């Protein structure tokens, strides 16, 4: 559902909307995306209802301390002024579902692809993982020691950073180089273009070279904060950044502990900018067991 919706949304990103006409006549895409949004909404409502039922049926004595639990708690707040509306609760869940699922999914897919074709980096990353975790489940202490993997993640974010641009509204007229941006227009800052700028990254900008990040982001970007912003910039940057990095490190460590990865001959390279940058035909890899039941 989410994938379909993101394809439709990205197809219509720059569609001109005329309010009255859009109310009277809806295109196939609009109708389908309304139906998909409703499906996602129903899905969220069901999950919320299940949480509430567990408390009502005394299977649990609280709504829980996870993010959903906190939202359901806020929805039941005894103080009316602090109470969250059901509409807002559903919206928060949708935001996290949209922002958190597809992004990490595509990042992981691209890293698996990159490691499949760069066997030397795959081996380096595996050596590091085994050195730090052996065959054990990755723990938070070890995560901060994964230097090679961090470099690989940054380089994958640079080459295939999931969000296809940062949407911003221009609140007052500004001059950007030779351009004058009038107030009240919406723009999409293509961070992926910044990440592929040869002036910043050099002539090998399109190559996978995690060593760029060997001494951290500041050094790699020559202390230019805007040059590398896969998680956005400013007060509205990604709240899930640390969580996403941690999630990616855990999953990759567990894959590298168990399997070698090589690219399937059926793979066709075609990155496509939906809401996130996705492999149009998926990523087909061959996993070979290391005979290690970590």
Supply the minimum distance, in Å, between the C-beta of residue 12 and ligand HEM: 20
Contact status, residue 244 vs residue 103, Cβ threshold 8 Å: yes
| Least Å from the CB of residue 290 to ligand HEM | 26
Task: Give the nearest distance from C-beta 161 to ligand HEM in angstroms.
Answer: 6
CA nearest 126: which of 1, 288, 276? 288
The distance of closest approach from Cβ of residue 59 to ligand HEM in the complex, given in angstroms and rounded to an integer, is 26
Residue 127: CB minimum distance to ligand HEM, A:
24
Cβ distance to ligand HEM smaller for residue 103 or 278: 103
Pick 244 or 255: Cβ nearer ligand HEM: 244
Q: How many alpha carbons fall within 13 Å on the CB side of residue 268? A: 4
Please, is 257 exposed, middle or buried when counting C-beta atoms within 10 Å of its C-beta (0-12, 13-18, 19+)? buried
Residue 238, marked binder: yes
Note whether 138 and 145 are within 8 A (CB): no
Is the CB of 213 or the CB of 260 nearer to ligand HEM? 213
Cβ-based nearer residue to ligand HEM, 22 or 95: 95
Nearer Cβ to ligand HEM, position 5 or 104?
Answer: 104
**Considering beta carbons, is residue 260 or 278 the nearer one to ligand HEM?**
278
Which chain residues interact with ligand HEM by CB under 6 A?
Answer: 95-96, 99-100, 103-104, 107, 161-163, 166, 230-234, 236-240, 243-244
- Minimum distance from residue 289 beta carbon to ligand HEM (Å): 27
Phi-psi region of 58 (alpha: psi -120 to 50; beta: other; left: phi over 0): left
For residue 54 the two structure tokens come to 């567990």
- 14, 28, 30, 68, 93 from 24: Cα distances, Å: 20, 13, 12, 37, 30
CA distance 39 to 28: 17
Give burial (CB, 10 Å; 0-12/13-18/19+) of 223: exposed
DSSP 119-187: HHHHHHHHHHHHHHHTTSPP-HHHHTT-HHHHHHHHHHHHHH-SB--EEEE--S-EEETTEEEPTT-EE
Binding site per annotation, positions for heme: 238
């Amino acid at each position: 559902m989410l994938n379909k919706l993101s394809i439709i949304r990205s197809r219509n990103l720059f569609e001109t909307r005329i309010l009255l006409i859009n109310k009277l006549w809806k295109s196939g895409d609009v109708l389908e995306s309304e139906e998909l949004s409703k499906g996602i909404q129903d899905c969220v409502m069901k999950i919320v209802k299940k949480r509430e039922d567990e408390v009502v049926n005394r299977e649990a004595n609280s709504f829980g301390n996870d993010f959903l639990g906190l939202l359901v708690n806020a929805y039941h707040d005894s103080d009316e002024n602090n109470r969250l509306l059901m509409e807002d609760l559903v919206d928060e869940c949708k935001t996290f579902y949209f922002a958190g699922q597809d992004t990490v999914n595509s990042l992981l897919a691209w890293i698996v692809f990159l490691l499949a074709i760069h066997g030397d980096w795959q081996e380096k990353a595996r050596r590091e993982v085994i050195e730090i975790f052996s065959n054990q489940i990755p723990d938070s202490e070890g995560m901060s020691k994964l230097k090679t993997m961090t470099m690989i993640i940054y380089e994958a974010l640079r080459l295939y950073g999931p969000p296809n641009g940062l949407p911003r509204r221009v609140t007052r007229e500004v001059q950007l180089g030779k351009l004058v941006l009038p107030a009240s227009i919406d723009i999409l800052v293509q961070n992926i273009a910044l990440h592929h700028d040869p002036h910043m990254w050099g002539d090998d900008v399109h190559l996978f070279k995690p060593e760029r990040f060997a001494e951290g982001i500041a050094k790699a970007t020559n202390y230019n904060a805007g040059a590398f912003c896969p998680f956005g910039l400013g007060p509205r940057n990604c709240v899930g950044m640390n969580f996403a990095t941690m999630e990616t490190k855990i999953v990759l460590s567990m894959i590298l502990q168990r399997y070698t990865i090589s690219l399937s001959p059926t793979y066709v390279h075609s990155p496509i900018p939906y809401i996130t940058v996705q492999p149009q035909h998926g990523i087909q890899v061959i996993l070979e067991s290391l005979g290690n039941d970590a």
